[in-house]
């Protein structure tokens, strides 16, 4: 669908071959190579020293830090330097509402909430119903707006604090964004946008202007409060092209360059690649009923052997197993228990059926709770909206 945009200079990771990595703001597929992402996007690896520095302020090593699920950044050190001098920061992240939320989307949001809690800082959350409308041929505006609202429920269900969380629904809230978007747009040339995003003659002009809108929440805190502080963006690395153009113009507008911290993608339940809505059978949506979750996990790609006998004798390979990844990313908090599961898997004591059954139980338990909170969120969405 996005073929026409795949040859941008600014987006180096393009390959036609099957299961080769493709990572652009509109498409992520294939087996993800994180070191190559850091190299080719030109971001910084998240060093042990920086991990320690975050933990010093948060007072704990969050699961996503200790398991290195956050792996790369831009200017996190600068933001921490400022913080240590008494200049706070705000968090900014977002979602393109093109469908229901899956558990892979929750990974960076969970980390964002941890940062909000520990640094007691504001979160600006952009729901890009406008972006998804201009970019996706087949979606109507009513649909992206509705997904935006539904997706916001998933965000709120994670427990964000209403007094510190400001959701921007682009289409409805554009009045708040528009003056800054114009300031941004005026300073980005078509040739830069084209080189960064790969726009073509056939690209609609809504899409060409759109990156200005994604830049705005980096600066909106200053507009709303008069307090000029940097924004730290926890997100997946595929959004980096947006921040590159934003960083280029930030100082011209009198603002800090936005900093970033990047999470790994939760893999899908198939072979290689991230969890992706375009492959629903290997993706667990938060609204999937228990029997659907069970079926999807049951069909997951594992590191198991061809036969039970072989597996008992030779053990299995958690490194390539998607089921094990789910424990690693989300569903086993306890490091000791995770290591024990890995050991039992490797030496053939724990078979795939047992491991899948347990994961199904955990995922369904989590989702049952999540859905309750999600329904409750319907009554309080207004409290989270940027305009009140």
List alpha helices for the chain, DSSP H: 34-41, 48-58, 63-66, 76-84, 103-119, 129-135, 141-157, 170-186, 190-197, 205-209, 211-215, 220-225, 240-250, 290-298, 308-314, 322-326, 335-346, 352-377, 381-384
* Three-class SS state of 33: coil
Smallest separation, CB 147 to ligand TRP (Å): 11
Query: Helix count (H) and strand count (E) of the chain?
Result: 19, 9
d(CA 377, CA 212): 30
Smallest separation, CB 38 to ligand TRP (Å): 18
Q: Are 204 and 134 within 8 A, CB to CB?
A: yes
Tell which one of 95, 113, 114, 122 touches ligand TRP (CB under 6 A): 95
Q: Are 232 and 91 within 8 A, CB to CB?
A: yes
Tell which one of 116, 126, 286, 311 touches ligand TRP (CB under 6 A): 126
Smallest separation, CB 265 to ligand TRP (Å): 12
Residues 160, 165, 168, CA angle at the centre, nearest 5°? 125
Using CB under 6 A as the binding rule, the residues of this chain from 22 to 61 that contact ligand TRP are: 25
Tell which one of 75, 131, 288, 332 touches ligand TRP (CB under 6 A): 131
**How many residues are given for the chain?**
388
Using CB under 6 A as the binding rule, the residues of this chain from 64 to 93 that contact ligand TRP are: 92-93
What is the spatial order of strands in the sheet that 70-74 belongs to?
44-45, 70-74, 259-263, 231-236, 90-95, 123-127, 165-169
Smallest separation, CB 283 to ligand TRP (Å): 15
Q: Are 147 and 99 within 8 A, CB to CB?
A: yes
| Beta-carbon count within 10 A of 369 CB | 11
Query: Residue 112 interacts with ligand TRP (CB under 6 A)?
Result: no
- The β-bridge partners of 276 are none
- Residue number with CB closer to ligand TRP (92 or 160): 92
Tell which one of 94, 303, 318, 348 touches ligand TRP (CB under 6 A): 94
- Residue number with CB closer to ligand TRP (93 or 322): 93
Smallest separation, CB 260 to ligand TRP (Å): 8
Tell which one of 37, 76, 235, 297 touches ligand TRP (CB under 6 A): 235
Contacts with ligand TRP by CB under 6 A: the residue count is 13
Using CB under 6 A as the binding rule, the residues of this chain from 215 to 234 that contact ligand TRP are: 233
- Residue number with CB closer to ligand TRP (148 or 315): 148
Tell which one of 8, 32, 96, 259 touches ligand TRP (CB under 6 A): 96
Residues of this chain that bind ligand TRP (CB under 6 A): 25, 92-96, 126, 128, 131, 214, 233, 235, 239
């Amino acid at each position: 669908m996005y073929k026409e945009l795949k040859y941008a200079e600014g987006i180096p990771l393009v390959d036609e071959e099957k299961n080769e990595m493709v990572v652009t703001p509109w498409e992520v597929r294939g087996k993800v190579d994180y070191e190559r992402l850091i190299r080719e996007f030109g971001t910084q690896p998240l060093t042990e020293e920086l991990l320690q520095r975050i933990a010093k302020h948060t007072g704990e090593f969050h699961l996503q830090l200790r398991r290195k699920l956050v792996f790369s950044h831009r200017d996190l050190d600068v933001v921490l330097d400022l913080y240590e001098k008494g200049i706070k920061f705000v968090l900014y992240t977002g979602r393109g509402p093109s469908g229901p939320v899956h558990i892979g989307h929750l990974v960076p949001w969970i980390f964002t909430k941890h940062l909000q809690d520990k640094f007691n800082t504001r979160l600006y959350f952009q729901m890009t119903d406008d972006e998804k409308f201009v970019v996706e041929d087949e979606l109507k505006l009513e649909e992206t707006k509705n997904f935006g609202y539904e997706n916001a429920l998933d965000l709120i269900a994670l427990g964000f604090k209403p007094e510190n969380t400001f959701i921007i629904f682009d289409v409805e809230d554009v009045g708040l964004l528009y003056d800054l978007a114009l300031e941004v747009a005026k300073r980005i040339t078509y040739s830069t946008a084209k080189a960064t995003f790969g726009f073509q003659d056939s690209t609609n002009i809504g899409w060409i202007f759109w990156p200005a809108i994604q830049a705005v929440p980096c600066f909106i805190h200053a507009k709303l409060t008069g307090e000029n502080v940097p924004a730290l963006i926890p997100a997946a690395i595929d959004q980096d092209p947006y921040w590159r153009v934003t960083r280029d113009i930030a100082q011209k507008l009198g603002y800090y360059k936005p900093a970033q911290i990047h999470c790994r993608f939760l893999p899908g339940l198939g072979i290689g690649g991230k969890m992706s809505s375009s492959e629903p059978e290997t993706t667990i949506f938060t609204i999937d009923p228990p029997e659907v979750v069970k079926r999807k996990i049951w069909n997951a790609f594992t590191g198991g052997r061809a036969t039970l006998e072989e597996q008992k004798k030779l053990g299995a390979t958690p490194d390539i197993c998607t089921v094990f990844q789910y424990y690693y990313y989300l569903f086993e908090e306890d490091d000791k228990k995770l290591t024990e599961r890995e050991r039992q898997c490797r030496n053939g004591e724990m078979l795939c059926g047992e491991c899948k059954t347990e994961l199904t139980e955990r995922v369904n338990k989590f989702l049952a709770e999540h859905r309750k909170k999600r329904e409750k969120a319907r009554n309080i969405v207004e409290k989270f909206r940027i305009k009140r």
